[in-house]
Amino acid sequence: MVNLLYSEWDLGKSVSKSKGKICAWIYVLDIIASSEELFFEEEDGRVIGFCGYMKYGSTKHGLRKKIFRLLEKIAYSSSLIKYKSKLLQYNEDYDYCPDSVMQNYDGELSIIVVDKYHRQNGLGRKMLHDLFEKAKKDGIEKLLILTDQSCNYEFYDRIGCNKIYETTIRNGELLKCEKDYIQGYVYEKTL
């Protein structure tokens, strides 16, 4: 998971002047701590894609979630991060969905990422189909999806999701999209 995220996104490494894969580790710890379920695709023992969802208000996996939040907090204090405040700001910039929108949903897509060499073959669609089925069985009726211009956000239009909100956010992925500000989108999926 760490290697895949590290190869795909900056995750605040540039702005915080972090060394190594610490930002990818922090993101993975956050994903594990917030996700109700995770779905993986592997090839030759290597993760080539994964996705997950969170269920708002869930107490399931409480101990796991607490442990990974503690590990995330420890990782944030790493000496590998030169400017911790800039990393925190990076993460805050991507938390752009208004509470008034979030309150209408049962859960949220916590992550989807597919290795760039395995795209365009239906892997993302397959993983999300499995995720949507599991989330529905878990009692989720409406799932929230946050994405932006640095990602393949049009994918959500193609799989039947509806764009419900759009805003401008500070771009933390300058390597993917060279603008200082980009569009952030919120989609919904009724299960």
Tens-place pLDDT, residues 96-141: 889 899 889 999 999 999 999 998 889 999 999 999 999 999 999 9
> Sign (positive/negative) of CA torsion 55, 86, 72, 127?
positive
Instruction: Classify domain 2-190 at the CATH superfamily level.
Output: Gcn5-related N-acetyltransferase (GNAT) (3.40.630.30)
Are the CB atoms for 36 and 131 separated by under 8 Å? no
Identify the pLDDT of residue 176: 63
Cα separations (Å) of 56 from 5, 47, 102, 108, 143? Answer: 24, 27, 10, 8, 10
Distance CA 190, CA 156 (A): 12
Identify the pLDDT of residue 175: 61
Tell me the whole-structure pTM to 2 decimals.
0.89
